[in-house]
A and B are shown apart, each in its own frame.
Chain A
């Protein structure tokens, strides 16, 4: 039972982390109509920066804050140098161009940091566990991740729904020329939105660094999940991204833990052991396939933020 609760919390934590990533992706797509494959690269850079800065400063938190700022700046630089030229073009152009950026970032990281990957150890005060229910311990770091991502989600909601900037963001999504005609600096708005997306990706990257990985190619791995979430949730919808991310996080985590046992109920132990890893990976894609059959535009298609 305690294992189940732990798995559920892990699913929640993973889902929220995926939400950060997917929110950035869907925001950029919704507002600028830009498909950014290099979004995963920003996630990777966030993790690398965090590992480096934490080592330099000796402080995990300071390293994280600096990494966030650095990723934000890299994001905005990429927007000004490369992304601007892609707006308004065919989506194929976006895909190819940002694919080229992936190659560039991966190799640059390899050049600067080497092929080995890095580690980001947790400071002792975070490497503890907390008793959340009588008899149930849970990693305080993972709890911190849950809290922080929920706070960011709330912030995003407030930003998009309640502020004037959010209104501009939503308006920009529906009518670019109008917003420009209102005297709003569209170029600046886009740079900021892209930067926000980059920051979200970087935050996700640096937060997962101590528990998962800091290595080249981590961006490409997680990008697929972000795409699946965007498809399930509906492009342009942050609410959709949240719901889909939680679904995917749960199904993936809980599914992987319990699928072998479930399979053993119907198959021989041998067959179950063989089928389990393949099938657990497939679960979220099956979910996506089902959503596609029922509602091809996603659960909360564009408009519903």
Chain B
């Protein structure tokens, strides 16, 4: 990540600046909706960053990543329902539950490869969906309303929308930095090697299974954090968050933005959610456009938006 002054760097810096100044803009223009929308974008970007770790860098195509959004959210929701509102209890619980789930699912799924892996992660996430939908005490299918946001110590007040936004943004940036460090560390190099040529890794002396499992758990835990944030944001948690098509949405965000690139997932989330907003303004049936668009991205712009920017830079340089 050389901080060269080129179009791509400028674009990313501009994006970050815009995100930082968003609440100011929202106040000035008097548009509350923008703040709500971008809080959601930032939270989902955190989820996408966590997915990119295993998908983009690790080559593990998990189609069940949305499960952690639900698990993190339900940890917060269930505890709140039982009268435990302290964030110091809820959030560690969300992280621990996500980590545990990732450990079990990962241990089983990583014994498989390719298509099997895709299907299995999908199926296990659905299992989580059905389990939560079957919990009548916690709302079942209808979901669970959260009457009070996670409580920390004053002056932190999550009900303050601006404060909450900045907290989410800070966590997102911290996550991007964390993932960047992990990916360039010895551990990250092993993960990338396993993505590139798993057999060779074994031959040169790496038992890749355990590394991939640890990576899987880290990604799941990070996404569980996003889940806790999301539950606070919507004051609500429902099994629908974990439905397998939501995992598909996350994958779209990662691929659209650019896999194996630190800011790719953020770019992708912003692009997708803004696109949704714009398109749904035009027509109610905007997914008819999004669907084929996705197919076209897959066929012609596999590197995502970040990839296109890089290609543009290469052309400009030559």
- A and B in direct contact, judged by CB atoms within 8 A: yes
Residues of chain A whose beta carbon lies under 8 Å from any beta carbon of chain B? 29, 35, 37, 82, 85-86, 91-93, 95-97, 99-108, 110-111, 220, 224, 227-228, 230-231, 235, 274, 276-282, 285, 288-289, 292-293, 296-298
**Cβ of A91: which chain B residues have Cβ within 8 Å of it?**
61, 114-115, 118
**Cβ of B293: which chain A residues have Cβ within 8 Å of it?**
100
| Of B63, B116, B135, most A-chain CB atoms within 10 Å | B116
Residues of chain B whose beta carbon lies under 8 Å from any beta carbon of chain A? 61, 63, 108-109, 111-112, 114-116, 118-120, 122-124, 126-127, 130-137, 243-245, 248, 251-252, 255, 285-288, 290-295, 297-299, 302
The answer to whether A97 and B298 touch across the interface, beta carbons within 8 angstroms, is yes
**Cβ of A296: which chain B residues have Cβ within 8 Å of it?**
111-112, 116
The answer to whether A103 and B131 touch across the interface, beta carbons within 8 angstroms, is no
Expressed in whole angstroms, the Cα–Cα distance for A95 and B244 within the complex equals: 13
The answer to whether A35 and B115 touch across the interface, beta carbons within 8 angstroms, is yes
Chain A's closest residue to B123 (CB) is: A228
CB-CB under 8 A for A288 and B295, given A224-B126, A235-B115 = no
The answer to whether A111 and B302 touch across the interface, beta carbons within 8 angstroms, is no
Q: Tell me the interface secondary structure of chain A in the complex.
A: helix
**Cβ of A282: which chain B residues have Cβ within 8 Å of it?**
127, 130-131
CB-CB under 8 A for A274 and B115, given A91-B61, A107-B285, A281-B130 = no
The distance from the CB of A282 to the nearest CB of chain B, in whole angstroms, is 6
**Cβ of B126: which chain A residues have Cβ within 8 Å of it?**
224, 285
**Cβ of B116: which chain A residues have Cβ within 8 Å of it?**
231, 235, 296-298
CB-CB under 8 A for A85 and B299, given A281-B130, A282-B130 = yes
A100-B294, A282-B130 known; 4 new pairs, CB 8 Å cut-off, are: A93-B299, A100-B293, A100-B295, A220-B245
Expressed in whole angstroms, the Cα–Cα distance for A276 and B133 within the complex equals: 12
CB-CB under 8 A for A230 and B119, given A96-B294, A100-B293, A282-B130 = yes
The answer to whether A95 and B118 touch across the interface, beta carbons within 8 angstroms, is yes
Q: Tell me the interface secondary structure of chain B in the complex.
A: helix
CB-CB under 8 A for A224 and B244, given A95-B63, A97-B299, A103-B294 = yes
**Cβ of B112: which chain A residues have Cβ within 8 Å of it?**
292, 296
The answer to whether B288 and A97 touch across the interface, beta carbons within 8 angstroms, is no
Listed A/B pairs (6) with beta-carbon separation below 8 Å:
A29-B115, A93-B299, A96-B255, A107-B286, A278-B134, A285-B123
Expressed in whole angstroms, the Cα–Cα distance for A279 and B133 within the complex equals: 11
Among candidates B136, B245, B248, B251, residue contacting A274 with C-beta atoms closer than 8 Å: B136
**Cβ of B123: which chain A residues have Cβ within 8 Å of it?**
224, 227-228, 231, 285, 288
The distance from the CB of B85 to the nearest CB of chain A, in whole angstroms, is 24
**Cβ of B292: which chain A residues have Cβ within 8 Å of it?**
100, 104
**Cβ of A103: which chain B residues have Cβ within 8 Å of it?**
287-288, 290-291, 294
Expressed in whole angstroms, the Cα–Cα distance for A227 and B161 within the complex equals: 42
**Cβ of B133: which chain A residues have Cβ within 8 Å of it?**
277-278, 281
CB-CB under 8 A for A96 and B298, given A285-B123, A296-B116 = yes
Expressed in whole angstroms, the Cα–Cα distance for A106 and B108 within the complex equals: 32
Would you list the 3 A-B pairs with minimal beta carbon distance, nearest first? A104-B291, A278-B134, A100-B294
**Cβ of B244: which chain A residues have Cβ within 8 Å of it?**
220, 224
Expressed in whole angstroms, the Cα–Cα distance for A111 and B287 within the complex equals: 11
The answer to whether A278 and B251 touch across the interface, beta carbons within 8 angstroms, is no
The distance from the CB of A143 to the nearest CB of chain B, in whole angstroms, is 29
The distance from the CB of A229 to the nearest CB of chain B, in whole angstroms, is 10
CB-CB under 8 A for A107 and B115, given A224-B122, A282-B130, A285-B124 = no
The distance from the CB of A39 to the nearest CB of chain B, in whole angstroms, is 12
Expressed in whole angstroms, the Cα–Cα distance for A91 and B59 within the complex equals: 11
Expressed in whole angstroms, the Cα–Cα distance for A277 and B288 within the complex equals: 35
Expressed in whole angstroms, the Cα–Cα distance for A274 and B286 within the complex equals: 39
The answer to whether A97 and B61 touch across the interface, beta carbons within 8 angstroms, is no
The answer to whether A100 and B120 touch across the interface, beta carbons within 8 angstroms, is no
The answer to whether A106 and B134 touch across the interface, beta carbons within 8 angstroms, is no
